[in-house]
A and B are shown apart, each in its own frame.
Chain A
Amino acid sequence: MAEKSGADILVECLVDLGVEVVFGYPGGAVLPIYDALYNHPTIRHVLVRHEQGATHMAEGYARSTGKPGVVLVTSGPGATNAVTGITDALLDSIPMVVITGQVPTQLIGTDAFQEADTVGITRHCSKHNYLVKDPAKLAGVVHEAFHIATTGRPGPVVVDIPKNVQIATAPYARPELKVHASYRPQTKADAAAIDAAVEMLAAAERPVLYTGGGVINSGPQASALLRELAALTGAPVTSTLMGLGAFPASSDQWLGMLGMHGTYEANWAMNQADLILCIGARFDDRVTGRLDAFAPNSRKIHIDIDRSSINKTVDVDLPVVADVGSALDDMIALWKQRGHQQQDLSDWWSRIAQWRAKRSLSYPETGPEIMPQRAIADLYQACMSTGRDVIITTEVGQHQMWAAQHFGFEAPNKWLTSGGLGTMGYGFPAAIGAQMGNPDSITICIAGDASIQMNIQELGTATQYRLPVKIFILNNEYMGMVRQWQELTYESRYSNSYSESLPDFVKLGEAYGWTGIRIEGPEDLESGIRQMLDTAGPVIVDCRVAKLSNCFPMIPSGAAHTDMLLDPNQIAGIMSDEAKALV
């Protein structure tokens, strides 16, 4: 058998695994790998400006294409800079493989130059990780790493490779996939659970389908099946932040997002339901609000591929451990086989109509400024009218919630946001990664003035690779979400939430070769958006919006769904210590 260096083995594996793009940044401990990638015929390397950017690009690439994102960084600071993105991918179940260089094996543990305990640091923020000490084992590890990252509940896997292992040689033949015998995610549901789920659903008088990111992770087929199940049952559908797009926002059965900034109808329907079918969501605290008041009179079915998600916060009546797509497929087949008909849900729908009539997403438009919600609504209309495929990413804050509320998603994999970790700095690199994977789509990062500065250096990356990414900043000159909480909880003492010394975003973009556009007031909004969409290259838009708008509806943390605040007049300005202590 021919011998190959560890670096060549790695690259060979990446080719065999179908990797087309690697997001990375070089350094001493990965030089052999960079040399193996030099002028590589099929693997495209995207040189980022900061390793955190690489991780979020890989996430954006993965979330928008369904393929795993791949990151390559050096030891020490390269690896530690990647930690936020690795954690982000863990919380949002994004398939990602991160290859880190490490100091040579004989120097491990000596506090060598750029040594960090990468496997120690990433042990609990990755789905799995490896330190490979022998080039003969590398190929097996890399293949297993991709398998683990992409199967079961997807997540980030870290492969730490000491520099001498990259250089040393070993006999190489394409490995058979050998996976830990202990790794066997359950993808097919127990027949008895499917049976019980179908019967509960068929008998429900006030059902709600509560869907989440798991539907997206399961693949486009799962979204199609969700639509079919909704059509068969006639049940209303709501979704978490992570699940938007799995069910079309234009459907009559769509209730909008649920949870802290969800719609009145979604949260009240959850509260009053007699049956909740949770599909690939995880009863996160942003969704449930006060636990003892969450959907108190409902029976609950929970479909999740990860058993540890079941009964973690909310006790359910029927767990269904399975891949969402597979479980939906089984349920639909059984529903049809049993000849179930839709229940008469007209009473239920008329109650929902009353909640809808509150128009909880409406907002006042009286002042001379652009309301941020209006900016999103107009952006949505303009995107629709292009007739092109549009991918939206967001940063974290009010703008993220407004985007979730006012942009309608019709298809999965078009909405990329940091839900679990809430990472400011995610959105812009994620847009670059999504654009890499979807060169023909319009990719827009809806950003806040504060968040966008967290990975602003990636302007250079988009320029270098001629990626026509758009950044649409809702500039309220505040860390708006922080300011809103301070208004609600700390009597408007705005401690360090004002965005002092903002850069001129237009000039900043121009300095990197981007087009910069400023939208000052309502009269520029439509034309500014159109100009952004009509510009072939990358564009940064500084859209000045009302500074003190708040994001409503809102369920204050620790409150029940029924205690939802609909408008600013309901703000108390002060809270109990118990409520303050919740995140």
Chain B
Amino acid sequence: MHIQEELSQRHVLSLTVSNEAGILARIAGLFTARGYNIDSLTVADITDDHAISRITIVTGGPPKVIDQIIAQLDRLVPVHKVTDLTDAGPFVERELALVKVAGTGEDRIEALRLADVFRAKVVDTTIESFIFELTGTTEKVDNFVALMRQIGLVEVGRTGVVGLMRGKEAN
């Protein structure tokens, strides 16, 4: 007998939650306990009084599993609202990456040229290296990192995705 995996779709979920002890463990633990995936998770408080945090989770699964994930998250006492940005309509998603690249001569020039194309900023430089700061979709960051790998990628730090619905309404 062999174990079969199901096909999965990427979804970006945006949650507002009470900013209280253990909330992150509650959410992360729910994903592990029920066997859901987390591709990325970001969290920061978003109100004046620091009472509410927004958590953005990139997850994957068949539609039925995504629906379950949302229902299960919604059931947690400190979770205020769960929005599936992927399903809810047009939305903006961005992540920030810091990308360290080392090289000299032509490589160095090529790195700068590519950074320009991607609108990445140089935030640190030595004679032999740069750190680029890049924001964009996950795909854009992936592409940039893939190119830099050919030039002399040293290391990468990424924030994971944050997202908001387009338009004037709050979510």
Contacts and interface: CB of A to CB of B under 8 A. Distances in A.
B71 A310 contact: yes
Contacts of A517: none
Contacts of B68: 308, 311-312
Interface in B91-106: none
Contact of B64 (A148, A308, A311, A577): A311
Nearest to B16: A182
B29 A308 contact: no
A183 B77 contact: yes
B21 A131 contact: yes
B33 interface: yes
Contacts, number: 45
Given A123-B26, A311-B64, A148 B33 contact: no
A520 B52 CA distance: 66
A123 B25 contact: yes
A90 B22 CA distance: 19
Contact of A180 (B1, B22, B78): B78
B84 interface: no
A359 interface: no
A307 B77 contact: no
A148 B72 contact: no
Interface residues of A, number: 22
B79 interface: yes
Which of A123, A148, A308 counts the most B-chain CB atoms under 10 A from its CB? A308
Contacts of B81: 182
B22 A119 contact: yes
Interface string B59-79: 000001001100110110111
B18 interface: yes
Interface residues of B, number: 22
Contacts of B17: 182
A interface SS class: loop
A133 B97 CA distance: 38
B19 to A, nearest CB: 12
Given A311-B64, A577-B1, A581-B1, A182 B75 contact: no
B30 interface: yes
A575 to B, nearest CB: 11
Contacts of A127: 77
Contact of A182 (B26, B30, B80): B80
Contact of B18 (A148, A180, A307): A180
Interface string A165-185: 000000000000000111100
Nearest to B22: A119
Contact of B71 (A131, A148, A307, A315): A307
B132 to A, nearest CB: 39
Contacts of A581: 1
A88 interface: no
Contacts of A40: none
B75 A307 contact: yes
A28 to B, nearest CB: 24
A39 to B, nearest CB: 36
Contacts of B22: 119, 123, 131
Contacts of A131: 21-22
B77 A308 contact: no
A120 interface: yes
Interface of A: 119-120, 123-124, 127-128, 131, 148, 180-183, 306-308, 310-312, 315, 577-578, 581
10 contacts: A123-B26, A124-B29, A128-B77, A180-B18, A307-B75, A308-B68, A311-B64, A311-B68, A312-B71, A577-B1
Given A131-B22, A578-B1, 9 more contacts: A128-B77, A131-B21, A148-B77, A181-B80, A182-B17, A182-B77, A182-B78, A308-B72, A312-B68
- The 3 A-B residue pairs with the shortest CB-CB distance in the complex, in nearest-first order: A308-B71, A577-B1, A182-B80
